[in-house]
Every structure is written in structure tokens, then in C-alpha cells.
Amino acid sequence: IEKLEQLYEGKAKRIYKTNDPNLLFVAYKDSATAFNGEKKEEITGKGRLNNEISTLIFEKLTANGIENHFVKRLSETEQLVKKVTIIPLEVVVRNVVAGSLSKRIGIEEGTEIKEPLVEFYYKDDALGDPLITEDHIALLQIATKDQVSTLKALARQVNEVLKAHFLSCDVRLIDFKLEFGLTDEGNIILADEVSPDTCRLWDIHTNEKFDKDVFRRGIGSLTDAYEVILTRLGGQKECT
């Protein structure tokens, strides 16, 4: 498979065409950004870590019957993925109160949530990715009611698989963000990435943070934290 011209450059990844119209090349970058791009740093090794972690997670999801865009890891920083049309929603699942939820509703970070919470954010940089309701999704004609139900069901399934998997690696899955895409056949599949950039991951015993909050809050080395996750997911220690 051949890497052709760049289609898109995001904050953390570059996307390229390939000689197969149904497949894209994804190159993970070493850039770390937070607060809608306000805080920015180059961190050597971040691209490799996210590519490897994301690969392990997509493989786990595939093994559990959750359809996703991942095809193959190609190199330290590159993946081959299926081409889909991204639905402009960030689907966030929360098991424990943290981050923006804690700020918005005034519940202390670390409080357990009984029934996993699913939220939708409208992917729009100019608007700052606002939280939106299902009625807003209908108003904006982003997705049908049925598609929204599918997104919620898929997000909950991903949560069940990943929560159990991380737990077996002594990691608490606090919350995470997913993006979905439509295939040419009109099926909704998981896309984008699942990595410590897009999840909150805390040590099961100490609640030490091994995710992008380390960078956002300036509380340690991002690569040290992501190495812990890679190792626990199977770099060294075997998990179920």
C-alpha cells in the first residue's frame, strides 16, 4: 500500500490518501495540545506511544465484536485505517466525575457515577466544541434519532469492554471520548483514536493519573505516564 498526498492535518495526527480509495494512512504526531490549542508542546515519543496504545485498544475492541476503522499498524507512528465520513460529534462516556463535568455541575472529581453517562459535544473548533443535547443534534441535522441511539449503544459497549480490560491492568477508566464515522454502506463504526490523549486513566490503587491531564495540569512527564499504560496493556505485563 502506498502513502499518497496529505488530506488533513489535525492537532495530533496527519491523514494521507493511499492508492486504495477505501483506505487512509494515519501518522501520529509528537504534538501535545490542550484547551482548544492554547497550550502546545512537542513531546518526542508521544506519537509512537499513542499509535501503539491505540493499536492495542482497537485490536481488543475488534476481538470483542466492536466494528472500528483500524486495519493495521504500519510503523512506529503509522496506521492504516478504513475511510469513513466522520460524524461531527465527540461522544464522551463517564464512569467517574472529572474534568469539565466536575466544573459544570459542581460534583467533586473522583465521585463514582452509577450508570455510565453519555454526552455529546458538537465538533466545531470555532464554537469550542460545545456540549449539545439530542434535540440540538436533530436541529443541526447531524444524525437521525436512530443513529443517535446507535451511537449511545456503541459507546456503552466500548465502555464495558475497555473498563474491564483496563481494570485487569490495574487501571481505572474514568472517562473517554469517541468519534464515529459512516461507511459507504451507511454503517456507523468507531473511528479516530482511543489513547491516553482521549481517555482519563487512573491507577487502581493510588489514583495516579496516566493520561493527558498530566500535560494539561503540568503534573509530570506525559511520556512516562503513557509508557505505564503501554506496559500495562501488554508491553510487558499480560492482561486478559
Contact positions vs ligand C5P (CB under 6 A): 90, 92, 98-101, 129, 175-177, 198-200, 212
Which residues, 6 or more positions from 68, have their beta carbon under 8 angstroms from its beta carbon?
58, 61, 62, 189, 190, 191
For residue 197, the one-letter residue type is D
Closest residue to ligand C5P using C-beta atoms: 99
Written as nine digits, the cell of 157 is: 459497549
Task: Closer to ligand C5P by CB, 26 or 98: give it.
Answer: 98
Give me the least distance between CB of 192 and ligand C5P, in Å please. 9
Nearest to 171 by CA among 95, 116, 109: 95
Give me the least distance between CB of 230 and ligand C5P, in Å please. 17
Give me the least distance between CB of 127 and ligand C5P, in Å please. 12
Nearest to 71 by CA among 19, 22, 17: 22
Give me the least distance between CB of 103 and ligand C5P, in Å please. 8
How many angstroms separate the Cα of 160 from the Cα of each of 49, 57, 60, 70, 153? 23, 13, 12, 19, 11
Task: Closer to ligand C5P by CB, 84 or 194: give it.
Answer: 194
Distance (Å, whole) CA 139 – CA 130: 15
DSSP β-bridge partners for residue 24 = 17, 81
User: Angle at CA 68, nearest 5°, toward 66 and 70?
Assistant: 130
Task: Closer to ligand C5P by CB, 129 or 208: give it.
Answer: 129
Give the DSSP H/E element, type plus range, for residue 35.
Answer: none
Give me the least distance between CB of 221 and ligand C5P, in Å please. 18
Task: Closer to ligand C5P by CB, 74 or 116: give it.
Answer: 116
Give me the least distance between CB of 198 and ligand C5P, in Å please. 4
Contact between 127 and 167 (Cβ < 8 Å): no
Identify how many contiguous H helices and E strands the chain contains and give both numbers. Answer: 6, 14
Task: Closer to ligand C5P by CB, 41 or 238: give it.
Answer: 41
Task: Closer to ligand C5P by CB, 82 or 200: give it.
Answer: 200
